[in-house]
Amino acid sequence: MKSASDVMLGLEEYLNHIRNDYSRWTLQSPTDVRMRMEEEFRKTLHFEVGSKYIKVITTSFGGHQRSVHSFICRKPVGKFAAGDILKPAGWTGPARNFARGNILDRNFGTISWCGA
C-alpha cells in the first residue's frame, strides 16, 4: 500500500509531465507569446480530490472554460488499481475501458497536455 506522500509525489510528477509536454508544444510560438501561454497553463492546471478519484482540471480563456484532463483512482475501483490514470467520459466520471498509466508507478504512457 502506497502512502499519501507517495500519491502526492506521483501526482506532482504527473502534473509536471503535463506541463512539460505543453512547453514542448508551445516551442513553435514566438517567445513572448509562448512565455505567456506557458505561465497561464501552469497556473491553471490543478486537481480536485473526490471520494474515488482525483480529477485533473485545465482552465483556459481567462478562467472561463474548464475541462477535465484526466481522472486518477484514489484507491482500487473495480478492475483499476490505486493511481491508475483514466480518460474522462465527462465532467463527473472517467471512461472505464482501460487505464492510460499509473502515477504511483510513474508510468504516464502516451498522455499529453491535451488529455489522457
Q: In this structure, which amino acid lies at residue 51?
A: S
Residue extents of the structural domains in the chain: 4-102
Phi, psi (5° rounding) for residue 47?
-140, 155
63, pLDDT greater than 90 = no
Residue 56, CA atoms < 13 Å, CB-side half-sphere: 32
Q: Can you count the helices (H) and strands (E) in the chain?
A: 2, 5
Residues 65-86 have pLDDT tens digits of 889 999 999 999 999 999 999 9
pTM listed for this prediction: 0.86
- Residue 94 CA: distances (Å) to CA of 7, 20, 51, 54, 77: 19, 24, 13, 10, 11
